Each structure stands twice: as structure tokens, then as C-alpha cells.
Structure 1
């Protein structure tokens, strides 16, 4: 099956600055991908390359089977894009804004307008955008990105300005799109949000792709320890340290909770002791390395190798 996006050996230079350095990856249909990295890491440049707004200095970019930067790129109407900072004419209403973008994509306005209800703006459809809050403008931006049921959706910091309830609603929409076969790329600094929602993570640092894989794959490669938290009887933390034996580093998180770090090959042995008959443990929580920790690890590893 042809990938929705295929980048091969992509380099992008701006004068003497190499914004993207030899990046290659492909994104299949029906996948949610988190594109993460600090400011200046190359995330926005990659999004612009996929949109066809800029051309690579070297390498190739294929989106929906074609070069997105060519003038006759037919897949442009099947792309959806939400920039980090949305800007709309403040004198127009939400309904007028969406009708305008529908015409740009060759879609009937009547088919696009129900998207206002989908993002929770039905009651504000007749209000001027200049009266919208930041979160409302963000939702309007998402609605315009969804016009035409895109096969590729590129979202740059999409949940900025959204309250927790609206963030959940946003990710429900993303799940529905993915279930219909769309490829969704989320570029965000909100790593905790992305951890449970992205099927794959691409980590960028100074234009270099330093990691690419599922969370579980990145955890195996990183070999960071899993934290195991044991809840013991009141005042039993000291006994838990002694019971776990030598060679196990632990720290108290309270009078009843002790946390141990278990590297690969030691996790099962530690859990076996924690759950064996007679063990002074009332509950066990397993906390694998978070996306924040993985992100920091791969950046440190890359910088150490240079």
C-alpha cells in the first residue's frame, strides 16, 4: 500500500542554516504520528514541506503519491492544516469564514457548515470572529482543517487554548478521522497528551530525526528503568527496603509508598517478590518511562554523539 507521506533523504537549507538534515520516513494511512522537538528542531519546516509550501534543497517529498510542491498537485484538496497561530478576518462570522474556506477547497458550504457544530461552535456561528476567545478561534481553525474529509491532517499545537473537556472532544475527532483511514500528524509540546494517543513518535533535534517508532519501541531502544511503586502497611516503608534486598535502589514517596527502579531483566524478578505470599505489599503500580523522559534521553544521546 502506498504511504500517505514518504520523505527520503530530505535536506532543507536557508542560506547557511540547515533546518532539516537528511530526514527519511513514511507515514501510512490510518496512523496518528506525534512530531515532537523543541523550537527550531525542524518540525514546522517538515510540515511546510509536506504541505508543498517550500521545496527541499535535496531529497524527495511525496504526499498522496505526488510532489506537493508542484503546481498541479491534485491532492491539495485532501490536505487539512491547522497552524500554531490561527488568524481569521475579525469582521467575518464563523459561518462566513468556514464558507470561504469551503469554496477554496471546492466543497459545498452546506457540507462544511455542520463542522461548526462538531467543534462546539454552532451557537457562535453568527458572531463575528473578533468576539471569539482564543480557544474558540482554535476550534474554528480545526473546523476549517476538517473541510473535505482530508486524507492527511497536519496539526501544529492543535490544543493550545482548549480547556480539558474540549481537548477530549478534539482527540475524539482525531480518532474518528484515523478510523476512516486518515493520516494525522500532531506537532506539539504537550507530550503527556500525546503519549497515549499517538501510534508513533518522531523526535527531531536541530534538524535531525533522532528517534522514530512506537512508544514501546522507543522504550526498548532507550532501556530506561521502569518505576515500580509498592504500597505497604502504615509505617512499613523501611521494612520494604530491607525486604527488597541489596542491589535495589528505592526511595520513599511517603510512609506507605516506596518506589524502586527496575531495568530490563530485573522487572519480573522484582514483581515476583512483591506479589509472593507473605510479602508486606498491599498494592503495586508499574510506571514505564514517559514520553517526556524518552524525549530527554534521545536528545542527550544525540548531543553526546556529536
Structure 2
């Protein structure tokens, strides 16, 4: 659905993107993560045709964003910028009808969309009376106008409460199941960890890593964390057994024993604990989080 080859973009002396190669498959939810200034917003604007690359090629749905036929492709795109600007003197439904006319979309879509994003009861209120989260919902509704084939969402849950975030991703899941391709950025890595199919990590204008979260975990070779809860405060037998194995440092807190082991040693750890199962009340295995993977790629000790 999206293909970038050797894309470079600079702003004067600042090199924002350096030789970026990236492909987003049709129908997937693809994440872009990176520190502030990593190049995510520039990449978004290039894929939307709002900026021109200094070098390289950007294609969306088979068309170059610099070509004459991309205008037709743009009509099938939806975009929610990180900082959406709305007209305070318009109501919610008037705002959505305004965007619908700009996009050439039937205004009959507006009220059902407002209901879908939870703004039906506030449709007639002026935008100036909306909270930050309500404005974000309205911005999301405008991105959904026209049932776009491709959605670009830049920090889309900014200002939403937990319930709003859950509803937002439920809508996205439904759209994706219907065939929509979604590109999303978020600084809340735990939020997208279980939701994206694949993601790219940007650093200094370059793609540092691309893949699914499990694949990136494997590439990062980060240790697992294992926590044992014993039946009593007497942990001696378990500690002695673990000390005979090649695992990391043990941390003991009352009935809790925590240690790290490499992924390939997980079954060895379980085998070492099996004869002592009568002493164990619970065992939890914690995979490295997306935040751990991200910091590892950035060269930061988590």
C-alpha cells in the first residue's frame, strides 16, 4: 500500500530523513515510533503528499505522491494530525459537514460518525465548549469521513481518557477488518504494543528496525523476567536450586523471587523449577515490553 525507497528530506542544514526504505502492507496496522525529532511527522507529510522528498521515491497505492494521478489517491486518505486546529465558532456537526464538503463526501455521514466517536450528544455545541478529548474525537471523525482506504493517525489518543482510548481502538479494529490500512504514531508504547501488526523504529531520520513486536524482541535479545511466589517465607530450597542454574541475579522480597534469563533458557528455568513445584504458589513470566525494545534499539539501558 505504501512504499518508500531511498527517501531523503532536509530543512536547510537539518537532515530530517536519510535514505529511508519502508513498505506498509495493505490492510495492516503499522506503527511509527521514535523520539521527538526522529522524523515521524516529516515521514507522515511525505506520504500524504504535503511535502516533497529531496531524493528517493514515495508511492501510495501504486502512485507516486509527486505524480499527477496522486490527486485521486488523496481522496481515499484520512489524516488526523497531532495538533488539530478547529473553528471554535462552529458546532461539532457544522465542523464535520465543513470537512465533508471539502472532501466531496455526503454530509449524511456526519451524524452517524459523531455517534460512533461518542459526540452525538454534543453535536450542536460549539467547538469552543469542547474539552481536549472531545476535540480529538471530532478530529478522528473527520479523518473517517468518506470511509478512507488509508488512515494516517499522528498521536491520535492525545487527550482521550482510558474509555475513549478503548473505543478508539475498537473503531480502528473494525475499520482494519474491513480492509483499511492504518499508519499510527504514539509515544504511549504500551498502548500500541498489542495492537499494531508491525512497526518501525526511527532514530535520527533513519529506520533503525522494522518488524512485529515479537520479532523485534527476538532481534533485541533482551532477557525475560521471571517471578516466583512461594507458599511460605521459606525460599531456601528454591533459591538454592536457582543458584545452580546460569540465570541472572536473584532478587528476594518476602515470598517473591525475581530473576532474569535469556529467552533460549526459558525452558531450562522451568525444568529447574519443576521438581520444586510443591513450593511454588505462582509463576509469572514477563516478556520485554515494547518500551524495553525501543530503549534497547536507542542504546539506552532500561
Same structural fold, with TM-score higher than 0.5 when normalized by the shorter chain: yes
Q: In 2, distance between residues paired with 1:277 and 1:259?
A: 16
Aligned CA distance change for structure 1 residues 261 and 277 (closer, same or farther; 3 Å): closer
Cα deviation per residue 1:180-238 (whole Å; 9 max; x = unaligned)? 11111111100010111111110001101101000111011111101111111221344
**Could you say what secondary structure the match of 1:113 adopts?**
helix
Contact 1:81 1:154 in 2 (8 A): yes
Cα offset, 1:253, TM superposition: 5.8
May I ask how many residue pairs the two structures share in their alignment?
298
Residue in 1 that maps onto 2:142: 144
The reply on whether 1:38 has 2:38 as its aligned counterpart is no
Match of 1:304 in 2: none
Moved more, 137-146 or 236-245: 236-245
Q: Contact conserved, 2:92 with 2:125, CA < 8 A, in 1?
A: yes
**Which deviates further from its counterpart, 108-117 or 46-55?**
108-117
- Distance in 2 of aligned mates of 1:236 and 1:40: 51
User: Are 1:123 and 2:112 an aligned pair?
Assistant: no
Distance 1:188 1:287, change over 3 A: same
From 93, 97, 100, the counterpart of 1:99: 97
1:16 aligns with 2:13: yes
- 1:258 and 2:277 aligned: no
Out of 148, 163, 166, the residue aligned to residue 165 of structure 1 is 163
Contact kept? 1:273, 1:279, Cα under 8 Å:
no
* Offset of residue 63 of structure 1: 0.6
User: Any idea what the Cα deviations from partners look like across 1:71-129, whole Å, max 9, x if unmatched?
Assistant: 54211111111111111000000001100111111111002331000000000000000
1:269 alignment counterpart? 268
> How far apart, in 1, do the equivalents of 2:222 and 2:67 lie?
44
Match of residue 243 from structure 2: 245
TM-score, reference length from structure 1: 0.94
TM-score (norm 2): 0.95
The DSSP-based 3-state class of the residue aligned with 2:288 is: coil
2:294 alignment counterpart: 295
Q: Hey, what does 1:283 align to over in structure 2? A: 282
| Residues 51, 69 of structure 1: 8 Å contact kept | no
Partner of 1:54: 51
Unaligned residue ranges in structure 2 (runs of 5+): none
Distance 1:251 1:274, change over 3 A: same
Report what 2:181 is aligned to.
183
1:63 paired residue number = 60
**Deviations, residues 15-59 of structure 1 (Å, cap 9, x unaligned):** 121101111111111111110001100000000001000011111
Q: CA deviation at 1:275?
A: 3.0
What is the SS of the residue equivalent to 2:253?
coil
Q: Please state if 1:234 is matched with 2:232.
A: yes
**For residues 260 and 177 of structure 2, what CA distance do their matches in structure 1 show?**
37
Say if 1:237 and 1:252, in contact at 8 Å, map to a contact too. no
Post-superposition offset of 1:278: 4.7
Q: Name which of 20, 25, 30 aligns with 1:28.
A: 25
